[in-house]
Copies of this chain bind each other. A is one copy, B any other.
Amino acid sequence: MKDIAVWSFRFAPPFAQGLLRDLRVRWALREAGLAYETRLIGAEERTMAPHRQRHPFGMIPVFEADGRQLIESGAIVYAIARESQALMPEDEAGRDRTLAWMFVALNTLDVPIQALFDIDVLSREEPWAPPARPHAVSNVERRLGELAEALGDRDYLLGRFTAADIMMATVLRFIRHTDLATSIPSLAAYLQRCEAREAFRQALDEQLAEYAVNAPAAA
């Protein structure tokens, strides 16, 4: 992979800092030892033609390598993982299992977790949010219990670190405002283990440093 670029937002409000999905791509690239540039856009550019052409849903990240672009953090991280044994075993069975756990993170876990994030963060001022919360919490709790059981006493989802852990840890970060994951000791330790990785720290520091430089002037 050559001439790698990652599109992300120039700035994010505090509630979203450290959550935006370009973090996954930066983390994966650093685990794989691949150099990249970031292309920062303003949130207002989301719906404008140049970015819509790159991303039909006006989201980030967009990824570019070898002259072609790709969307969706899951697909981007899988493409990066194909380049490096640091992110995925080389045999077909190992790759299939890695992708399976990426989908576990981005669908089985993310569906209930995003519902709760919406209630607690995005829509927290809406009158419907508090009454809807207990059901959303219970959906998340069930999946986290099953996840903890599946993880068992392994360090990472597949035993060794893979791209699936990048997706899972960054999905779990969307409930960092609760103790739902961290009150389960094995999940707390798992998250800490993932977030202690040098590639994660560097990716997060880089993302937050960009926001700091580009923060709007105080009113």
- Cross-interface CB contact of A72 among B75, B100, B114, cutoff 8 Å: B100
- Set of chain B residues within 8 Å of A129, measured between Cβ atoms: 132
A59-B108 CB under 8 A given contacts A79-B96, A128-B128, A128-B132:
yes
CB <8 Å contact, B103 and A72 = yes
A75-B100 CB under 8 A given contacts A111-B110, A114-B111, A123-B135:
yes
CB <8 Å contact, B149 and A107 = no
Name A's interface SS.
helix
CB <8 Å contact, A56 and B146 = yes
Size of interface on A: residues with Cβ below 8 Å to B: 44
A111-B111 CB under 8 A given contacts A56-B150, A75-B103, A103-B72:
yes
Task: Bits for A150-176, please: 1 = Cβ < 8 Å to B, else 0.
Answer: 100000000000000000000000000
CB <8 Å contact, B75 and A99 = yes
Quick check: is A180 within 8 A (CB to CB) of the other chain?
no
A99-B78 CB under 8 A given contacts A58-B146, A126-B135, A131-B128:
yes
- Set of chain B residues within 8 Å of A72, measured between Cβ atoms: 99-101, 103-104, 107-108
Interface residues of A in 58-107 (CB under 8 A from B): 58-59, 68, 70-76, 78-79, 93, 96-97, 99-104, 106-107
CB <8 Å contact, A74 and B57 = no
Least CB separation from A58: chain B residue: B146
CB <8 Å contact, B111 and A97 = no
Please, could you name 13 A-B residue pairs with CB atoms under 8 Å apart, sorted by A? A56-B149, A57-B150, A58-B146, A71-B104, A72-B103, A72-B107, A74-B103, A106-B107, A110-B111, A128-B128, A128-B132, A128-B135, A132-B132
